Amino acid sequence: MEETLKILVVDDDEVDRMAVRRALVKAGVRMEMSEVGDGNTALSVLSNTSFDCAFIDYRLPDQDGLNLIETIRSLNIKIPLVVLTSQGDEQIAVELMKAGATDYLSKFRISSETLAQVLRNAIRLYRAEMQTAIAYQQLRESHEQLVRKNQELERQRQQIQIQNLRLLEASRLKSQFLATMSHELRTPMNAIIGFSQILLRPKFGNLTGQQADMVERILNNGKHLLMLLNEVLDFSKLEEGRLELKPELFDLTKVINAVVMEMRSLAEAKKLSLLVQIDLQNPLLVNDPVRIKQILINLLSNAIKFTDSGSIWINVKDLPGSWIEITVKDTGIGIASKDFKYIFEAFRQVDQSITRKYPGTGLGLAIINSLVQMMSGKIFLESELGVGSIFTITLPRQLPLSNSSLSSSSVQDAREMIQPDHKVHHPKAKSNPNARKYHNLKL
Ligand code: ADP
């Protein structure tokens, strides 16, 4: 041992103390040795000075070694304690160790080797114990810290849960409010539209040119407002999961032609050509024609709204595996790819400023997205700023049964008309090869 050790010898017998000193010196232990003759003095010395080790005679004049060790440990004095026993004391060795002795040695076995060996072992053992205790303490502290952090996290989780519940409730109230308001507003709006239509009928009486112009404006604005109200009502129903598809067998070509006829005047007013191409082997679908029409009107009115010159195309074609694809393409302002994921969110518009050029609620694409999902279809977008946009929708020819309110026999009849080979196409089947074409743009 290179370091100088501070050693205390507690023994009333001076000869024994000397024997210890000699043995350690002979063993080459570098040390500063202090000596005391009784337990009480040992206690006061140990309380004020720190030592590397103490040798304690078991038989002291004021108390026995066991008492002294218990007191030292109860005062939390940290030091290796080696008890020097006399003949006949060996049997109390176990109690000494239990009380906190680090080791014991019979005085009759004291030699320079044994004493130095016991000293080294006691110090090594004690230091190892101290290190373990420190590590254990650190472990306990970090465990406590973890427990505290966990408690804090749990508290935060509960707070977030409460906030979530509040948000859900607020959102539910908002949807309810939207539904009630749009429903309530629709009634007077229908009256405004109805009465303006009556006013415009010749049999009601002749209006002056200016009067007819004003009534027509009331009618057109009323229709526009009704459309906005319907969007809000649909959106709130979709949010609450109250919107149901009403599937029936219908001719898609007829629906597309009707929509195109409705929208053509809007396109012509902006001098845009509206081109339609329908390549369907079988135009019959089992789906909700009203909602398909709504999807088409929304896509076309967006295409017209966001295109200042050029053309709008609507293409419909068969896809393998009883799927169809509807594409609406325009040469409009286009959409930056960074906005792709936002525009399908409710109330989101690329331009959200008050002074924006293009009017709208920002609900159209959110509604389309939900409807297409309900139909187990997919929607894809390709667009380039200043060049134009392509919205592509793929739909199964037949709605999955869970979405269908048709009786089972009429479903069977319809299936036979649209799928003569009776193969039922799973709505989520990955066999639609065109889906892969736009895979990166999938929303
Ligand atoms: P709205 O048309 O009422 O604003 P939508 O949900 O239909 O709401 O569309 C959201 C946004 O997506 C639009 O405000 C517009 O910024 C963008 N968008 C939709 N369709 C087109 C299109 N064909 N060309 C360019 N931008 C479009």
- Residue 317: the pLDDT is 96
Which residue is closest in CA terms to ligand 1's atom 8?
362
Q: How far is the CA of 70 from the centre of ligand 1 (A)?
A: 85
Identify whether residues 38 and 78 lie together within a single domain. Answer: yes
Find the 438 Cα to ligand 1 centroid distance in Å. Answer: 20
Which atom of ligand 1 is found nearest the CA of 346? 6
Closest ligand 1 atom to 298 CA: 7
Question: Does one domain contain both 337 and 194?
Answer: no
- If we measure between CA atoms, which residue out of 52, 58, 77 comes closest to residue 10? 58
Q: To the nearest 10°, report the CA torsion of 324, 329, 335, 341.
A: -10
- Ligand 1 mutation pick, 343, 367, 371, max ligand atoms within 8 A of CB: 343
Q: Give me the pLDDT at residue 349, please.
A: 73
24 lies in which domain range? 5-110
Looking at the domain assignment, is residue 151 inside a domain? no
Give the DSSP letter string of 216-245. Answer: HHHHHHHHHHHHHHHHHHHHHHHHTT----
443 CA to centre of ligand 1 in angstroms: 15
Q: Quick check: is 104 in a domain?
A: yes
Q: Are residues 263 and 344 in the same domain?
A: yes
pLDDT recorded at residue 191: 93
Closest CA to 57 of 112, 14, 1, 119: 14
Give the pLDDT score at 419. 46
* Same domain flag for 72 and 9: yes
Q: Tell whether 196 and 252 lie within a shared domain.
A: no
CB 345 within 8 A of CB 367: no
* pLDDT value of residue 422: 30
Separation CA 45–CA 148 (nearest Å): 41
* Pairwise CA distance, residues 171 & 160, whole Å: 16
CATH number of the domain where residue 59 is located: 3.40.50.2300
Residues in contact with 359: Cβ distance below 8 Å, sequence separation at least 6, in sequence order: 305
Q: Which of 220, 237, 254 is the last residue of a domain?
A: 237
> CA nearest 37: which of 20, 53, 57, 52?
57
- pLDDT for 426 equals 32
* Ligand 1 atom closest to 307 (CA): 24
The pTM of the full predicted model, rounded to 2 decimals, is 0.60
Identify whether residues 201 and 258 lie together within a single domain. Answer: no
The pair of three-digit structure tokens given for residue 424, joined into one six-digit string: 């039922």
> Of 110, 144, 160, which residue constitutes the final position of a domain?
110
Q: Which atom of ligand 1 is nearest to the CA of 360?
A: 3
Element (H, E) at 6: strand 5-10
Pocket test for ligand 1, best of 294, 306, 347 (most atoms within 8 A of CB): 306
Q: Whose CA is nearest to atom 21 of ligand 1?
A: 302
Find the 231 Cα to ligand 1 centroid distance in Å. Answer: 14
Long-range contacts (CB closer than 8 Å, 24 or more residues apart) made by 408-414: 410/249, 411/286, 413/249, 414/249, 414/284, 414/286
Last residue of a domain, one of 62, 81, 110: 110
Exposure string over 159-179, b if 16+ CB within 10 A, otherwise e: eeeeeeeeeeeeeeeebeebb
Tokens read off for 111: 């030699």
- In this structure, is residue 94 part of a structural domain? yes
Q: Ligand 1: which residue has its CA nearest to atom 23?
A: 303
Residues 224 and 264 in one domain: no
Give residue-wise pLDDT tens across range 329-352. Answer: 999 999 999 888 888 887 777 766
Q: What residues flank ligand 1, with Cβ below 6 Å?
A: 298, 302-303, 306, 330, 332-333, 335, 343, 349-350, 360-366, 389
| Domain identity same for 384 and 413 | yes
Span from the CA of 65 to the centroid of ligand 1 (angstroms): 92
252 within domain boundaries: yes
Can you tell me which atom of ligand 1 is nearest the CA of 363?
Answer: 6
The span from the CA of 56 to the CA of 59, in Å, is: 9
Query: What are the pLDDT digits (tens) for 358-412?
Result: 777 788 899 999 999 999 999 999 999 999 999 999 999 998 765 444 443 444 4
**Has residue 158 been placed in a domain?**
no
Does any domain span residue 135? Answer: no
Quote the CA–CA distance of 6 and 418 in Å, as a whole number. Answer: 100
3-state secondary structure of 2: coil
State whether 270 and 211 are in the same domain. Answer: no
Residues 255 and 199 in one domain: no
> Which residues of the chain register pLDDT less than 50?
1, 403-416, 418-443
Our count of domains for the chain comes to 3
If asked whether residues 376 and 265 sit together in one domain, one would say yes
| Residue 333 belongs to some domain of the structure | yes
Query: Residue 323 sits in a domain of what CATH number?
Result: 3.30.565.10
DSSP string, 187-218: HHHHHHHHHHHHHHSGGG-PPPHHHHHHHHHH
Q: Which residues pair with 59 in a beta bridge?
A: 64
Asked whether residue 180 falls in the same domain as residue 272, the answer is no
Asked whether residue 121 is assigned to any structural domain, the reply reads: no
Q: Could you give the CA distance from residue 113 to residue 27 in angstroms, rounded to a whole number?
A: 6
